[in-house]
Amino acid sequence: MGAAAPESELTTSSKKSRFRVKSGGRLTGSLRVPGDKSISHRSIMLGAIAEGTTRISGFLEGEDSLATLNAFRRMGVEIEGPDRGGLVIHGVGADGLKAPGGPLDLGNSGTSMRLLSGLLSGQGFGVTLSGDASLSGRPMRRVTDPLGLMGASIGTTAAGTAPLEIHGSANLKGIDYRMPVASAQVKSCLLLAGLYAEGETCVREPAITRDHTERMLAGFGYPVRHSADRICVTGGGSLKACNLEVPADISSAAFFLVGAAIAEGSELLLEHVGMNPTRDGVIRILRLMGADIEILDPRDAGGEPVADLLVHAAKLKGIQIPPDLVPLAIDEFPALFIAAACADGETVLTGAEELRVKESDRIQVMADGLAQLGVEAMPTADGMRIRGGPINGGRVDSHGDHRIAMSFAIAGLWARGEILIDDCENVNTSFPGFVDLACGVGLSIEQTWET
């Protein structure tokens, strides 16, 4: 495998980036978006503490996933790659991690911070987890409070935010925890801590959330027990190395699903997309809006369902988004807000207060951006009301949020004029190569940089 890039090259550039998107066009042809970010994170974490050598293909070489990779390198794990999505992880076993000798900088990655807070709570050493300004403003008590119930000792700021000072403990106790809000990150954090806890750790979720951690634990040979609304693990076991294939990320595919649906004359094939039933809400919501999406050749890839998706342009209509689909599409709502802006009638989202504590306040930032482009968008405490219609050209600020930047880029297909999108450098956290891939299937977009 090729040599890994130096850690200094894996952080977001200090330069400012802007997207310039010309109006109109259509999306045609085929493409495969990068690997699933959620699965890429977990493959590193579990491969590192497994016994033996784990081989991964399709790994997302974005800044968030690389932050996780670098963290485990600093804790003594030998990792070859990444080389065109390929990794070889030489696992050190459950108790083989070493103190990193300084804080672990996780950049913009909330997944890295929340999941690592659980996994590292049961280690025999202390460690500090830090991040960039955005990550340092995101709520962490949702994981530190239940971890405290297990006996973990984690210091935060007075606001309950990073940096997190984790004092490793060999005395974690299993708990039966009912999450107040559905969150795959909280669930995964507690299950990873449960690997190091005495007895059984169970998590009860109020609504179904993505289950990549449970699936992957089973793939590494670690028993996971499901009963009713509970997911449980018993501490003290071991993970066995395996081979993993990371499917294309449905969250990245979402931008092109929306783009092909709204741009007249589009016909686009998205290849090898992850179709985990806890993640397919974006497809189900778009179909309710009238989108023409065919699911072709469903199959299995390393324990995760995948399929090819063929999208034709269609006339969309506004809907009341079903509450049970909200947790299954939580990361895709910036793109879905663009679909709503292009639909006939009104689209109403409720029950999505989680969007206010992502990389940005995605409800307010999307509402502000849509208003800048002449779209009637009214934010609410837990969602948004959007009246579909024309989208004008204009200038919007992504507030450094990768999904917002890419969503407004896709809006250019429907817009009447050119759209300028500021603060786009963080797109590389989840979708390296977005501009080139988008250009290749018909979006007229260019990226500029300034110091």
Residues known to be catalytic: 331
Contact (CB, 8 A) for 449 and 423: no
Query: What is the C-alpha to C-alpha distance for residues 4 and 80, in angstroms, rounded to an integer?
Result: 7
**Longest CA–CA separation in the chain, Å:** 61
Q: Does residue 82 have a cis peptide bond before it, meaning omega lies within 30 degrees of 0?
A: yes
Q: How many CB atoms lie within 10 A of CB 432?
A: 17
Contact (CB, 8 A) for 94 and 123: no
Contact (CB, 8 A) for 275 and 36: no
Distance of CA 316 to the CA centre of its chain: 26
- Please enumerate in sequence order all residues whose Cβ is within 8 A of that of 35, keeping only pairs 6 or more positions apart, or say none: 58, 59, 60, 85, 246, 247, 248, 249
Closest CA to 291 of 332, 342, 328: 342
- Beta-bridged to residue 393, according to DSSP, are none
Residue 393: what are its φ and ψ, rounded to 5°?
Answer: -70, 170
